[in-house]
Amino acid sequence: MNEVAAYYDRIDEDSRFSKNSRKIEFLTTKHILDKLIPQHAKLLDVGAGTGVYSLHYAERQHEVVAVDITPKHIELLKEKSLQQGLDVEAYVDNATDLNRFGSDTFDCVLCLGPMYHLTDQGDRHRCIDECLRVLKRGGYLAVAYINKYSILPMLATREKSYIRNSVIDKVLDEGVIFARDEDCFWTEAYFTSPDEIEAFLGQYDVTPVEHAGTDGISHTISKFVDQLDEHEFQAWMSYHLRTCRERSILGMSSHGLYICRKN
C-alpha cells in the first residue's frame, strides 16, 4: 500500500463533509456539476473516497462506477450503496491506470481527489490522459485541485509550527510535500494554482467550461463558519455561490474545480 493509501486507511475520510466549513466544497461542486451532467449519464468517479459523489449521482439515476486507491474506502462505498439500495460499481484502482475501462465509455469523469496527491508530474499527466481516454467526445471532465496560495493561511490557523521558510519554499516553488519529510504537514501532496491548473489542462484537446473556488476562504476561517446557525449558513452559501468564480476569491480558495469538455 502506498503512502497516500496508507494515510487514508488510518483516518476517517467518511466524516470529511460533516462540518459546515467542509461541506461547502461538496455543495458547490454538485451545484455546478448538476447543471452540466445530462440525464441518465454514465459517470466514472476517480478517487471516489467513501462515495459522497458516487452515491449522490447514483441516487439521481445515473449509472455510476467508482474507483479509489484505498481498499477501506471501496468497502465502505459498497456497504453504503447496498444499505441505500443504490447500484454503484466500485473497484480498488489507481487513477493513473484505468485499463479496466474501454476508451470513450463515460459521459462524465470526476477526478475530485487524485490531483491532491500526485507529486510526480508524469503521474499527473497519466491521470488526465486516462480520464480523457475513457471519456466520450463531448463529455465533461471535472478536476479538483488544492490551491497553493491557501496553504499558509490555513497553517497559520491550525499548525503554526509549520510557518517557516522551508515549508513556504516547498509549497510555492516546488508545489509538493512528501510523507516523513520534516516539512510534511499532511501526506504526499501536490499543490497548484488557478493559473497553473489552467495551463496544465490547456495542453489537452479540451474546451474550458467552468472554474470555481469550491470553498473560498471557508476552510481557512472554519472556526467561524462552523458557528453559523442554519439561517446564517444559508446566507453564507448564497454569498459563496455568487462569488466562487470571482478571480480574486478563486486565488485564495482552499479547493478549486476546473471543468472542461473533451473535443
pLDDT in the model for residue 17: 64
Tell me which residue of 185, 114, 118 sits closest to 155, measured CA to CA: 185
pLDDT over 70 (residue 211): yes
Around 23, how many Cα atoms within 13 Å sit in the side-chain half-sphere? Answer: 13
Q: How many residues does the chain have?
A: 263
- The domain limits of the chain are 3-262
Give this prediction's pTM.
Answer: 0.95
Mean pLDDT of all residues in 202-208: 98
pLDDT more than 90, % of the chain: 87
**CA–CA separation, 263 and 260 (whole Å):** 9
CB atoms inside a 10 Å sphere around CB 243: 14
User: Topology of domain 3-262, per CATH?
Assistant: Rossmann fold (3.40.50)
In the chain, where do the E strands start and end? Answer: 42-46, 63-68, 88-92, 106-111, 135-146, 176-177, 189-190, 206-213, 255-262
Q: pLDDT tens across 146-191, in order?
A: 999 999 999 999 999 999 999 999 999 999 999 889 999 989 999 9
pLDDT over 70 (residue 14): no
Please state the φ and ψ torsions of residue 161, each to the nearest 5 degrees.
-65, -20
